């Protein structure tokens, strides 16, 4: 301990040192804030937003606590105050570190939810986990500062947790599967997926227990997260393989293919007037032969939220009406087709 500290008045010297430590904390906070403002052009906007919200003030507080905890060791404090500072400052520093990590995690989850509005419902899982882990760590710090052993409490909680886990096995399985889906991100809201069980649709939301798929019908398929995490998933991204609709019209074999093509080509051009058809993609026509006669397939691109069945129905109605006006006969029914 430096000799000159014994010659100074104790409490004025401590107050002066605390003010100096506080000044260091304020300087650190302002310096970090200024650096983040300069680095805003090079950092990712969301990362910059998270760091600006969470770091400057805790960093200043951390510098203040560190300076105080280190500096008070050199002052001739009374025994009871020296013992108190040895326990309280590590506790405050540890609590501050936990709070900073919680603030960063919560701000990151909030920013992620603002970037992807469809993930706001699933962001609750991340917030809940952050609060649970943070509160558990603070409880450990408090017990350590008070000298309380957590072993009996942990033993009792272990037995109780085992009973709860057995009772809520399916629920917890779905919950942790949802956490896995959020972390690994094999699927994201807005993507079109197909499961090995045949279910397919756009991912609407990944929730605590289940994931919702919006089909083209449109209807909603609710898949438990545990089932989804074990399934073989085909992810088509934002592209729906069924957006390109193929509508086949069979014409009698003795008809003139060129005449039929002209008639159906005119109808294909007007298909963009049908609600649900994507006007940015031009429809087209293809010709082939099948067991019934001449097969003309009309291809149209529909919007992601369109009902493909209704679009095909309208195309068939228009095509058949045009063929009848032009005196073109449709192919006869297949005599070998099975009757229901």
Q: What is the pTM of this model?
A: 0.45
The residue assigned the tokens 């080509």 is 265
CA–CA distance, 226 with 241 (Å, rounded to integer):
26
Residues 229, 211: Cα–Cα separation, whole Å: 10
Rounded to whole angstroms, how far apart are CA atoms 33 and 185? 33
Give φ, ψ of 299 to 5 degrees.
-105, 125
What is the pLDDT, as a whole number, of residue 340? 44
220-224 β-sheet, strand order: 220-224, 210-214, 200-206, 192-195, 233-235
In angstroms, the CA 94 to CA 138 distance is 8
> In sequence order, what E strands does 207-263 have?
210-214, 220-224, 233-235, 244-251
**pLDDT for position 322:** 92
Residue 84: what pLDDT? 61
Q: What value does the CA radius of gyration of the chain take, rounded to a whole number of Å?
A: 34
> Per-residue pLDDT tens for 231-251?
998 888 766 666 778 888 999
**Interval 184-221: pLDDT, tens:** 888 888 888 889 888 888 888 887 788 889 886 668 89
Instruction: Give yes or no for residue 161 having a pLDDT over 70.
Output: no
Phi, psi (5° rounding) for residue 198?
100, -15
Residue 81 above 70 pLDDT? Answer: no
The DSSP secondary-structure symbol of 289 reads: E
Q: From the centroid of its chain, how far is CA 233?
A: 17
Of these ranges, 16-25, 141-150, 224-233, the one predicted with the greatest mean pLDDT is 224-233
Q: What is the β-pairing status of strands 294-301 and 200-206?
A: unpaired
pLDDT of residue 165: 63
């Amino acid at each position: 301990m430096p000799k000159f500290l014994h010659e100074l008045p104790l409490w004025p010297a401590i107050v002066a040192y605390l003010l100096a430590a506080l000044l260091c904390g304020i300087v650190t906070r302002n310096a970090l804030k200024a650096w983040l403002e300069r680095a805003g052009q090079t950092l990712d906007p969301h990362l910059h937003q998270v760091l600006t919200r969470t770091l400057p003030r805790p960093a200043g507080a951390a510098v203040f606590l560190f300076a105080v905890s280190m500096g008070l060791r050199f002052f001739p404090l009374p025994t009871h105050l020296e013992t108190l500072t040895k326990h309280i400052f590590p506790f405050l520093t540890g609590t501050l570190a936990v709070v900073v990590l919680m603030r960063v995690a919560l701000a990151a989850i909030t920013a992620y939810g603002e970037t992807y509005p469809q993930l706001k419902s699933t962001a609750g899982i991340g917030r809940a986990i952050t609060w649970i882990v943070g509160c558990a760590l603070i409880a450990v710090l408090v017990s350590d500062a008070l000298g309380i052993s957590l072993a009996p409490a942990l033993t009792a909680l272990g037995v109780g947790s085992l009973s709860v886990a057995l009772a809520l096995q399916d629920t917890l399985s779905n919950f942790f599967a949802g956490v896995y889906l959020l972390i690994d991100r094999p699927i994201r809201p807005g993507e079109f997926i197909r499961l090995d069980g045949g279910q397919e649709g756009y991912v609407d939301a990944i929730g605590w227990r289940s994931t919702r798929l919006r089909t083209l019908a449109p209807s909603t398929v609710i898949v438990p997260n545990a089932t989804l995490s074990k399934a073989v998933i085909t992810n088509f991204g934002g592209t729906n393989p069924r957006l390109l609709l193929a509508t086949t019209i069979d014409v009698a074999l003795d008809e003139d293919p060129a005449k039929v093509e002209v008639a159906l080509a005119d109808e294909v051009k007007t298909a963009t007037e049908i609600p649900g058809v994507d006007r940015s993609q031009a429809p087209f026509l293809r010709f082939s032969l099948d067991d019934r006669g001449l097969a003309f397939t009309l291809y149209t691109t529909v919007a992601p939220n369109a009902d493909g069945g209704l679009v095909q129905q309208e195309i068939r109605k228009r095509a058949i009406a045009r063929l009848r006006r032009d005196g073109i006969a449709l192919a006869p029914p297949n005599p070998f087709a099975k009757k229901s």
